[in-house]
Amino acid sequence: MDGESQMISVDDIAHDNKALEQKAQQLTGTDVELDLNETIGQKIEIVHSSFPAVLVRRDSAGGAVFVAGPGTPKEEPRVRTGPDQGTGFVILVIKSGQSCAILGNPSVRYFRPRS
């Protein structure tokens, strides 16, 4: 993942949970499972540090999801959401030592390490 983008558009596989899990596993190097249901952000929320990635729906309620911390590029990975942000889905990768924050009320699905 070094040198690669932490934001990956996945519109072509957005409705295929197995393909999304495979893509997230490829990007994170972690065996993951994707939550079946979307979660709506609540104003300001920090994503649990054990989650290696999140799936963000761009045309959900207004807000943003971003990653910060060691190893983030100068232009930090950030996905803005809202009716005026177009459609589509993005996987946002969270590297070890980084934090992911949800601002506003975007819809996300978490990739969790498979137990």
The domain that contains 89 carries what CATH number? 2.60.120
Report how far residue 85's alpha carbon sits from residue 81's, in angstroms, rounded to the nearest whole number. Answer: 6
pTM of the model as a whole: 0.91
28-85 pLDDT, tens digit per residue, is 999 999 999 999 988 888 998 899 999 999 999 999 999 988 888 777 788 999 999 9
Residue 89 domain flag: yes
| Higher per-residue confidence, 72 vs 20 | 20
Domain limits at 54?
7-113
Cβ neighbours of 77 (radius 10 Å):
21
Structural domain includes residue 30: yes
Residue 4 confidence class, pLDDT cut points 50, 70, 90: low
Cα→Cα distances 27→8, 87, 98, Å: 9, 22, 15
CB atoms near residue 22 (< 10 Å): 13
Q: What one-character DSSP code corresponds to residue 105?
A: S
The answer as to whether 2 is a domain residue is no
